[in-house]
Amino acid sequence: MKGKVTVIAVVVVTLATSAYLLTLGNPRDQTESSGVFATGLAQRVGSITRIELLRGQESITLTRSLDGSWRVATSDGYLALTAQVAGLVNGLATLEKDVAMTAKREKFGELSLAWPSTEPGGGALVRLFDTPDGSSSSAPFAEYVVGQERGSPRSQYMRLLSEDQCWRCRGSVSIDTEPQRWVDATLLSLPASEVHTAQIGGLTLSREAYGKQWTATIAEDAVEAWTPERLREAESVFPSWLSRLEFDDVRKPKLAQSADAVTHTLVFDSLRAKLVVYCVTEQGRMWARFEVTPHEGAPARDAGLNGDVNAKHKYQGDPEIPDWAAWHEAHKDWEFRLPQWKVEQLKAEPREPQEVPRR
Q: How far apart are CA 254 and CA 11, in angstroms?
A: 57
Mean pLDDT over 27-34 rounds to 51
Mean pLDDT over 23-30 rounds to 43
Mean pLDDT over 265-271 rounds to 94
3-state class (DSSP) for residue 337: strand
DSSP line for 257-306: SSGGG-SEEEEEEESSEEEEEEEEEETTEEEEEEEEEEPTTPPPTTSSTT
Among 85-89, 241-245, 298-302, top mean pLDDT goes to 85-89
Higher pLDDT, 26 or 236: 236
Mean pLDDT over 220-243 rounds to 90
Q: What are the pLDDT digits (tens) for 192-214?
A: 889 999 999 999 999 987 788 89
Q: What are the pLDDT digits (tens) for 166-175?
A: 999 999 998 9
Closest CA to 146 of 170, 128, 122, 164: 122
Contacts of residues 114-122 at CB distance under 8 Å and 24 or more positions apart, as own/partner, are 115/145, 115/161, 117/56, 118/56, 118/57, 120/56, 122/55, 122/56
- Contact between 338 and 287 (Cβ < 8 Å): yes
- Predicted local distance difference test score (pLDDT) of residue 283: 87
- Contact between 183 and 60 (Cβ < 8 Å): no
- Predicted local distance difference test score (pLDDT) of residue 302: 78
Q: What percent of the chain has pLDDT over 70?
A: 82
- Contact between 9 and 2 (Cβ < 8 Å): no
> pLDDT class for 13, splitting at 50, 70, 90?
very low
- Predicted local distance difference test score (pLDDT) of residue 28: 45
Count the Cβ atoms, other than its own, within 10 Å of residue 72.
23
> pLDDT class for 21, splitting at 50, 70, 90?
very low
Q: How far apart are CA 141 and CA 40, in angstroms?
A: 10
**pLDDT reading at 5 higher than 70:** no
Domain ranges within the chain, ordered by starting residue: 26-182, 186-347
Q: What percent of the chain has pLDDT over 90?
A: 60
Q: What are the pLDDT digits (tens) for 88-145?
A: 999 999 999 999 999 999 999 999 999 998 777 789 999 999 999 999 999 999 999 9
> Is the bond leading into 253 cis (omega within 30 degrees of zero)?
no
DSSP line for 152-220: TTEEEEEEETT----EEEES-------GGGGS--EEE---GGGEEEEEETTEEEE-STT-S--EEEE-G
> pLDDT class for 348, splitting at 50, 70, 90?
low
